Chain A
Amino acid sequence: MTFLLTGLSHHTAAVDRREAFAIPAEELPRALARLLAWPGVRDGLILSTCNRVEILLEAEDAAFDPAPVLAELYQRDMSAAASGFYCYRGADAVRHLFRVGASLDSQVIGEPQILGQIKAAYRASRAAGGMQGGLQPLLARAFSTAKRVRRETGLARHAVSVSRTAAGLARQIFGSLEGRSVLLIGAGETGALAASHFLREGAAQLFVASRTPEHATALAARYGGSVIAFGAWSDAAAADIIISCTGASQPVLDRAAVTQLLSRRRARPLLLLDIAVPRDIAPEAGQLDNAFLYNIDDLRAAVDHGLAERRREAVRAEALIEQEAARFLCAARGRQAAPAIQALQAHGEALRQRELERLRPKLAQLPAAQRALVEAWMETLSLGLMNKWLHRPLTALKAAARAGTEAPLIEAMEQLFAPPPAAVTPLPVSAAPATLAAEPEAGAAVETETDATTAVPAPLRARSAQRSAG
């Protein structure tokens, strides 16, 4: 089994190519069904967003070639188109998935949407039956890694747009934006965009003022706000946030106007966002107590700062990803040895039961009370002996699996222990012969075991073959 991730993203393909390969949500179930029906594909997930199309699958063969699957999915020849598709295998695929989930591979690194998109893709895949094997724990770890990165680094903490910066500042002043009022001066698109962001974040009321009343009316109608006359600022004293973005060459709000507003507000704090050039709000107004003025350069500087901070945090996030991927791969390798371990344990248990069954008829000679006691001793003795005998080989096997060096050990164990096929289960108690005469011959057991050498280690063989191939 191996993980394979192929696809294209904004790093490798322009928007027209991403469009061409995008798989819309309504076609996703069909695409997943096709993917999962492909021979050699055990689990599969398709992530299609505007920035990336990625297909993650668990293949039975380490050398699995994804090109024919892609051709099947897109119903076209992928040999030429495939040039833009990257392909990660094994540890690289795990690492890439973790990076995408933690939003390190995003266009705006640290943006939170991608995790939700992967979760949606995961749900779709699970519904289509694509989460039966190794992808389930892989995705679970990708989600927990993303959460850890969010929690332990500042990757998503820094605002990287002017609107978000403004909202972040407002939150530091007012706590929540719920129920706040916004005054928008000027009916330009930039200002409207910022104002609408505040409304989306919970602001309750919008006042609009413009030199051209029709513009103000149109904008107010669009966002459900109310129009106030240009210059009649005291009508909007309820506004906690003022966004100014006019084309005026002289300040629209001077210090006196802001002072007046503040006194009308009984000195409740006022957030002033001046996104106009030349500036609309007199810089001196920013020195007033309870007035917090930011101009466009301040906001842009914060955005630049936020981007720089995110890049800095990304370095820490990468280290976390590396750590989590290593941990996951180590655990996955440990899981890969599970069939061999189970086979060995089952083998030991089968031998034990058979030996017990052989002895049981001899106990019939004993009085009932003693028989129960001896049977209990036999049980304890055989179990203890078996566990102690298997302890070291199993520990060694687990440790080797974690280190990825279990193949020679598995092979050695096959030769040394020759576990029987899984089909050979201990004899049911009822079938046990009740008399001494029915003692089974030793030869029968030996024969079974000889068969086992070739038949059983199927899972073991497959594993070691794959290892040596990889």
Chain B
Amino acid sequence: MVNLSLFWARLALSLYTFGLATAWITLAVRRETLFRLARGAVALGFCFHFVSLVEMAVAAGHFPITQYSEASSLLAFLIVAVFLAAYRFYSPPSLAVVVFPLVFALTLTSIYGSDGVARVGVGAAAGVTSNPWIYWHAALIFLGYAALVVAFAGEILYLFAERRLRHRPPRPGPSRWLPPLETMDRWSYRALLIGFPLLTAGLAIGLYWANAAWGTLDLSDPKIALTLLAWVIYLVLLFSRWSGGWRGRRAAYATVACFVLAAAGWLTGNASGLHHFFPR
């Protein structure tokens, strides 16, 4: 990561850290006004993050996605974007409790984790930066991931709320940090609906591009295998939800599984022959 971009990213990270801490405190002391502070900090961090990405792109001369640090920074940025967009309509502070740590971790690794994971590239090196489709491929998948993160956060909260409702003796008082069950369910569903076409389009572009470049698709590549598996679960989940059968716990578990697979795919990035990132 270039120096100037690093500076902005660090600034963003400190604001995210502040937002994360404030969000946790909000839930501990139940002051909604405090959460506005957290959201404001994250929104400001988001702006700096954007500057950081632009600096990165200008320095690299292309869309910032070829290095691990670039990619995780971009993903964190997109997650914040989706979170802030979701918050505009309705979002309880509790969503932040799941989303902010992920954003924090991704931004942190993008700043400090880049050196350790960069390896010499072989497969994807040929013509990567000259082909614009690779950027569409990655950007769409990342957007899909960001929506999936929000859906995952909603479902995690759903599972906690569901557990609380099954507790005996019942606790009729409103939870300090859990929104109503149906709200979370609705939100996750919406996030899934938005994420699916993005993820599908991103994958389709990748498949098409891989086919055109190498004439074959390596399914033993862990990243490809895991991501495709996540996509299949995603499809089944969405279809079952749409057709009315799946809601509640089962849908929540499926969303969590989907997220875990996608996250595993993300983390195995460097073991993948095709998808490892460029060295610095």
Contacts and interface: CB of A to CB of B under 8 A. Distances in A.
B161 to A, nearest CB: 7
Nearest to A174: B182
Contact residues of A: prevailing secondary structure = helix
A305 B246 CA distance: 34
B174 A168 contact: yes
A17 interface: no
Interface stretch (A118-126, A181-189, A261-269): A261-269
A304 B169 CA distance: 9
A466 interface: no
Interface stretch (B59-67, B69-77, B247-255): B247-255
B233 to A, nearest CB: 18
Interface in B102-161: 161
Interface residues of B, number: 26
B165 A305 contact: no
A267 B245 contact: yes
B247 A290 contact: yes
A158 B173 contact: yes
B215 interface: no
B112 to A, nearest CB: 40
Contact of B169 (A157, A289, A301): A301
A175 B183 contact: yes
Contact of B170 (A175, A266, A290, A298): A298
B182 A269 contact: yes
Given A173-B181, A173-B182, A289-B248, A159 B172 contact: yes
Given A172-B164, A175-B182, A269 B173 contact: no
B244 A266 contact: yes
Contacts of A292: 165-166
Given A173-B181, A175-B180, A302 B172 contact: yes
A294 B169 CA distance: 9
A171 interface: yes
Contact residues of B: prevailing secondary structure = loop
A299 interface: yes
B170 A165 contact: yes
Interface in A293-324: 294, 298-299, 301-302, 304-306
Given A175-B183, A267-B248, A301 B173 contact: no
Contact of A294 (B161, B170, B182, B248): B170
A268 B248 CA distance: 8
Nearest to A240: B182
A173 B180 contact: yes
A424 B245 CA distance: 90
B171 interface: yes
A100 interface: no
A289 B244 contact: no
A164 interface: yes
Given A266-B244, A267-B245, A169 B250 contact: no
B29 to A, nearest CB: 10
Interface string B34-53: 00000000000000000000
A172 B174 contact: yes
B248 A302 contact: no
Interface in A70-114: none
B168 interface: yes
* Residue from A164, A166, A267 whose CB has the most chain B CB atoms within 10 Å: A267
A96 B16 CA distance: 47
A171 B170 contact: no
Contacts of A172: 161, 164-165, 172, 174-175, 178, 180-181
Given A172-B174, A175-B182, A290-B248, A305 B166 contact: no
Contacts of B249: 289-290
Nearest to A271: B165
A220 B7 CA distance: 69
Contacts of B250: 289
Name the 6 nearest CB pairs between A and B, nearest first.
A168-B172, A301-B169, A266-B244, A175-B180, A267-B247, A165-B172
Interface of A: 154, 157-159, 164-169, 171-175, 266-269, 289-290, 292, 294, 298-299, 301-302, 304-306
29 contacts: A158-B172, A159-B172, A159-B173, A165-B170, A166-B172, A167-B172, A168-B172, A172-B165, A172-B178, A172-B181, A173-B182, A175-B180, A175-B183, A266-B244, A266-B247, A267-B244, A267-B245, A267-B247, A267-B248, A269-B182, A289-B250, A294-B170, A299-B170, A301-B169, A302-B171, A302-B172, A304-B169, A305-B169, A306-B172
